Amino acid sequence: MKKLIKPLMIIHNHNRIGSLLSKRKKNTHSKKRQVKPKVSMEWTDDDVFKLITCVESVPMLWYAKDRKYCNKVERVAAWQHMSEVDFNSKFTDADLIAKWSNIRIQYRSYFAKSRKTKFCQGAQEEVKWKFYQVMNFIGRAEEEQTTDTISNLATEDEILTDSKIDRSSTPKCTKRRRMSQSSSIIASSTSSATIVAEGMKG
């Protein structure tokens, strides 16, 4: 009987530990569910126009060539300043970033369709989205970036082409040519040695 008690106690303890772990998992899940979702404020057209104007005035938030574009600290500070000063804390910096991201995605979609229509039909279709015109600074910046990328690629192609031409124009020393060059050197050295020997005899 004593031998049977120990295995039964081990099984009982194992089951108890398993139940405790499962309870902890349930508690962690319930805690995660209790987190309140972000309350999204309602945006008016005036709010959106104001946001676009404010963002345009801070190039590091949208212009990739700006020297502060990769500075996360400066960018976060700019969003916080916009939230507190420009919007009087009506929207948090997270609200502003989320809304701006949404607007920018919409603009890029309309911009791409407009360019495609112009390319296919030869005439640019007028976009009826109310924020399209004021968002055109994004389109100009992205076109500039695309142009720079294309020019850089063209320069790289030219460099590669030039290097290929230089290599092809350089005469290759073939095996036959090397053999003929070495034989001529040997012949010239032999003839000079013969001349020296004849001079010594004389």
pTM equals 0.55
Paired tokens of 110 = 């309309």
Query: pLDDT (tens digit, 9 = 90+) per residue, 4-59?
Result: 445 545 545 555 555 555 555 554 444 444 444 354 679 999 999 999 999 999 99
State the average pLDDT for the chain: 73
Give the three-class secondary structure for 70: coil
Per-residue confidence (pLDDT) for residue 163, from 0 to 100: 53
Task: List the chain domain ranges.
Answer: 45-159
Taking residues 149-154, report their average pLDDT: 58
**167: burial class by Cβ within 10 Å (0-12, 13-18, 19+)?**
exposed
Distances (CA, A) of 93 to 77, 79, 128, 134, 192: 9, 5, 29, 21, 91
More confident residue, 63 or 198: 63
8 Å CB contact between 52 and 134: yes
Binned at pLDDT 50, 70 and 90, residue 148 comes out as low
Per-residue confidence (pLDDT) for residue 59, from 0 to 100: 97
Question: Which residues, including other chains, have CB under 8 Å from residue 35's CB and lie 6 or more apart?
Answer: none
Per-residue confidence (pLDDT) for residue 36, from 0 to 100: 41
Winning range, highest mean pLDDT, from 7-21, 53-67, 124-138, 145-159:
53-67
More confident residue, 158 or 139: 139
Per-residue confidence (pLDDT) for residue 178, from 0 to 100: 56
Amino acid found at 66: D
8 Å CB contact between 103 and 51: yes
Paired tokens of 158 = 């030219």
**Length of the chain, in residues:** 202
Whether 90 has a pLDDT exceeding 80, the answer reads yes
Per-residue confidence (pLDDT) for residue 192, from 0 to 100: 52
More confident residue, 18 or 132: 132
8 Å CB contact between 82 and 93: yes
More confident residue, 159 or 126: 126
Paired tokens of 202 = 């004389």
Query: pLDDT (tens digit, 9 = 90+) per residue, 96-127?
Result: 999 999 999 999 999 998 887 766 666 666 88
